[in-house]
């Protein structure tokens, strides 16, 4: 569904809008979000999962992971397009509600939810709360009683999978903060504790094995263990357990090195795994849900920067590297510095036939780790005033943006059918100063 292309004179166009017009109207840096791409991926996930699981368990539900990128406008699209929303804080919950996502279609996550967050979620009537530890069982049950309601809950299980991804974003091995461990029996103990509280309704088990994963093997192990657990708890504790949630984590191609599965293939694989495991366990298949974030939002957006200073450095062995400074950096994309993430860059404002030189795209912040794109061949005539696009910045860039050096955060501009619409306005220095009250 991507609508990115080049104008006759070489300038980048997206959603029918020329990037030079975007830069003139909205400034740089800016996150440029291709609405058709975002919504196309979201609905592709929706259709792929409801299709692949239709015969097995009447379809599967897709919860978009709000942490990836969230604003009211995007929530409206998701609500309209029949997706659900995974929120992990009071702020994400409030944004979901502001965007008119029905509370029943939201799930609340978190390893240390506050009572205020839990109370807000229960009062709004969220469809499920994922319990992350034993203490939370009683906290949620007591709050539900106070509010005179029943809380639909799931239990987050640490299934013991070593996902092949960066250690900061792998989440299902034993030695980390999330969830109740399967191996130690805590997940089953939590189920018993939930079943003992009439204010709670146990929907099933949840696992999220990590992020930016390409291999379905990890999901296979997770599904097998969750379904085994489901079978056991149904049998031994008499619980109904109508659902399981396999989390998100589906990888995207930041560079040509990666080859992600299409949603339909992914859903097909997972459905086959779930079917086989349910048969092996001799149980009726629970309704399945997944929580993709990156795979929906990531490819939809590029960051548009203006090039400023450049500097050439002689490397050992005689090679050269050019430092290309842009007007943003680690404040709008921390992923390169934090995870050693790979991005690419392309000249956006014109065509250049100049010879490509090994370049490093860096930001304007006061440290040398402020790198946006580690290695890219960019035209040797690239210079001040040129626009540069860094694709694949729709996931965990705006949502993890900071105000380092008191740099205001860039806007998010959605483009579609030749029209640009600001979803999130540019922050101003006045916005920042407004917080200083002493
Ligand atoms: N569900 C749960 C419970 C999660 O914790 C996450 C992500 C997701 C779903 C969505 O995962 P995705 O499909 O987007 O991979 N900041 C890191 C990623 C952290 C992911 C945290 N949890 C990054 O920039 O790579």
Three-state SS letters, 287-328: EEEECCCHHHHHHHEEEEEEEEEEEEEECHHHCEEEEEEECC
Q: How far is the CA of 294 from the centre of ligand 1 (A)?
A: 7
Domain boundary among 277, 292, 307: 292
The strand ranges marked E within 44-144 are 60-65, 84-87, 106-108, 128-131
Q: Which residue among 42, 211, 341 is best mutated to probe the pocket of ligand 1, counting the most ligand atoms within 8 A of its Cβ?
A: 211
* Residue 176, pLDDT above cutoff 90: no
Q: How far is the CA of 237 from the centre of ligand 1 (A)?
A: 32
Q: How far is the CA of 386 from the centre of ligand 1 (A)?
A: 33
Give the containing element (helix H, strand E) for 119.
helix 115-124
Is the ipTM of this structure higher than 0.85? yes
CA-nearest residue, atom 5 of ligand 1: 208
Q: Specify whether 232 is located in the same domain as 113.
A: yes
Question: Ligand 1 in contact with 188 (CB < 6 A)?
Answer: no
Question: Ligand 1 in contact with 322 (CB < 6 A)?
Answer: no
Q: Is 366 a catalytic residue?
A: yes
How many angstroms separate the CA atoms of 244 and 226, rounded?
8
In the numeric block, which tokens belong to residue 160? 């013991």
Q: Specify whether 286 is located in the same domain as 184.
A: yes
Question: Ligand 1 in contact with 169 (CB < 6 A)?
Answer: yes
The whole-number average pLDDT for the span 169-183 is 83
Q: Specify whether 227 is located in the same domain as 282.
A: yes
Atom number in ligand 1 closest to CA 338: 24
- The position carrying tokens 């995207």 is 252
Q: Of the listed 57, 285, 366, 397, which one is catalytic?
A: 366
Binding site per annotation, positions: 249, 291-294, 335, 339, 367, 396
Residue 217 domain boundaries: 53-292
Tell me if 274 is assigned to some domain. Answer: yes
pLDDT one-digit tens code per residue, 123-146: 999 999 999 999 999 999 999 999
Helix (H, G, I), strand (E, B) or coil at 95: helix
CA-nearest residue, atom 8 of ligand 1: 248
CB atoms closer than 10 angstroms to residue 362: 23
Give yes or no for a cis peptide into 29 (omega within 30° of 0): yes
Helix (H, G, I), strand (E, B) or coil at 330: coil
Burial 198-208 (b: 16+ CB within 10 A, else e): ebbbbbbbbbb
How many angstroms separate the CA atoms of 266 and 263, rounded?
5
Q: Specify whether 95 is located in the same domain as 225.
A: yes
Question: Ligand 1 in contact with 179 (CB < 6 A)?
Answer: no
Question: Ligand 1 in contact with 292 (CB < 6 A)?
Answer: yes
Tell me if 347 is assigned to some domain. Answer: yes
Tell me if 413 is assigned to some domain. Answer: yes
CB neighbour list of residue 30: distance below 8 Å, 6 or more residues apart? 22, 23, 303, 304, 410, 411, 412, 413, 426
pLDDT one-digit tens code per residue, 338-384: 999 999 999 999 999 999 999 999 999 999 999 999 999 999 999 99
Q: Which residue among 67, 214, 301, 342 is best mutated to probe the pocket of ligand 1, counting the most ligand atoms within 8 A of its Cβ?
A: 67
Domain boundary among 271, 292, 313: 292
Tell me if 46 is assigned to some domain. Answer: no
Question: Ligand 1 in contact with 338 (CB < 6 A)?
Answer: no
pLDDT one-digit tens code per residue, 214-268: 988 999 999 999 999 999 999 999 999 999 999 999 999 998 888 899 999 999 9
How many angstroms separate the CA atoms of 258 and 38, rounded?
20
Tell me if 184 is assigned to some domain. Answer: yes
Q: How far is the CA of 52 from the centre of ligand 1 (A)?
A: 23
The whole-number average pLDDT for the span 302-326 is 96
pLDDT one-digit tens code per residue, 268-302: 999 999 999 999 999 999 999 999 999 999 999 99
Q: Residue 257: what pLDDT?
A: 86
Tell me if 47 is assigned to some domain. Answer: no
- The position carrying tokens 């069982």 is 137
Backbone angles phi, psi at 291, to 5 degrees: -135, 65
Long-range Cβ contacts of 271-274 (<8 Å, 24+ apart): 271/52, 271/53, 271/56, 271/60, 273/216, 273/219, 273/220, 273/223, 273/224, 274/53, 274/56, 274/57, 274/223, 274/227
Question: Per the structure, how many domains does the chain have?
Answer: 2
Domain boundary among 235, 264, 292: 292
CA dihedral 334, 337, 341, 345 (to 10 degrees): 70
| Res. 168 pLDDT band, cuts 50 70 90 | low
Q: How far is the CA of 13 from the centre of ligand 1 (A)?
A: 30
CB atoms closer than 10 angstroms to residue 380: 15
CB atoms closer than 10 angstroms to residue 23: 19
Q: Specify whether 186 is located in the same domain as 285.
A: yes
Question: Ligand 1 in contact with 291 (CB < 6 A)?
Answer: yes
Q: Specify whether 392 is located in the same domain as 417.
A: yes
Q: Specify whether 198 is located in the same domain as 108.
A: yes
CA distances from 229 to 66, 135, 179, 310, 373 (A): 28, 21, 15, 57, 43
Tell me if 41 is assigned to some domain. Answer: no
Here the CATH number for the domain that contains residue 371 is 2.40.37.10
Q: Specify whether 18 is located in the same domain as 113.
A: no
Q: Specify whether 61 is located in the same domain as 163.
A: yes
What's the mean per-residue pLDDT of the chain?
96
Q: Specify whether 200 is located in the same domain as 314.
A: no
């Amino acid at each position: 569904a991507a609508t990115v292309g080049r104008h006759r004179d070489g300038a980048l166009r997206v959603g029918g809008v020329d990037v030079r017009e975007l830069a003139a109207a909205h400034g740089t840096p800016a996150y440029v979000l291709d609405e058709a791409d975002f919504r196309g991926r979201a609905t592709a996930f929706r259709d792929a999962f409801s299709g692949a699981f239709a015969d097995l368990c009447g379809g599967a539900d897709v919860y978009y992971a709000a942490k990836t990128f969230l604003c009211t406008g995007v929530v409206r699209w998701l609500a309209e397009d029949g997706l659900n929303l995974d929120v992990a804080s009071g702020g994400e919950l409030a944004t979901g509600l502001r965007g008119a996502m029905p509370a029943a279609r939201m799930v609340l996550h978190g390893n240390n939810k506050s009572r205020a967050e839990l109370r807000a979620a229960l009062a709004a009537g969220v469809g499920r709360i994922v319990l992350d530890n034993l203490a939370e069982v009683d906290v949620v049950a007591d709050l539900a009683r106070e509010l005179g309601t029943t809380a639909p809950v799931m239990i987050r299980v640490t299934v013991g999978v070593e996902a092949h991804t960066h250690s900061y974003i792998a989440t299902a091995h034993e030695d980390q903060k999330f969830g109740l461990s399967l191996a130690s029996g805590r997940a089953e103990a939590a189920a018993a504790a939930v079943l003992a509280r009439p204010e709670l309704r146990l929907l099933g088990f949840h696992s999220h094995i990590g992020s930016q994963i390409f291999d379905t093997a990890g999901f296979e192990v997770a599904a097998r263990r969750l379904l085994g657990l489901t079978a056991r708890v149904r049998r031994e504790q008499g619980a109904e357990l109508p659902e399981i949630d396999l989390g998100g984590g589906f990888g995207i191609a930041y560079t040509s090195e990666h080859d992600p599965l299409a949603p339909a293939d992914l859903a097909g694989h997972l459905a086959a795994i779930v079917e086989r495991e349910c048969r092996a366990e001799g149980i009726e298949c629970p309704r399945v849900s997944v929580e993709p974030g990156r795979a929906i939002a990531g490819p939809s957006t590029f960051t548009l920067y203006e090039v400023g200073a450049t500097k050439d450095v002689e490397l050992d062995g005689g090679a050269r590297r050019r430092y290309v400074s842009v007007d943003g950096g680690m404040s709008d994309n921390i992923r390169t510095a934090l995870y050693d993430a790979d991005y690419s860059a392309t000249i956006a404002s014109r065509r250049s036939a100049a010879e490509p030189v090994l370049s490093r795209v860096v930001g304007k912040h006061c440290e040398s780790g402020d790198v946006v794109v580690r290695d890219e061949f960019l035209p040797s005539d690239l210079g001040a005033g040129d626009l540069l696009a860094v694709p694949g910045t729709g996931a965990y860039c705006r949502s993890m943006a900071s105000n380092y050096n008191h740099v205001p955060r860039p806007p998010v501009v959605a483009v579609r059918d030749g029209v640009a619409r600001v979803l999130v306005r540019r922050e101003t220095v006045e916005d920042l100063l407004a917080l200083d009250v002493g």
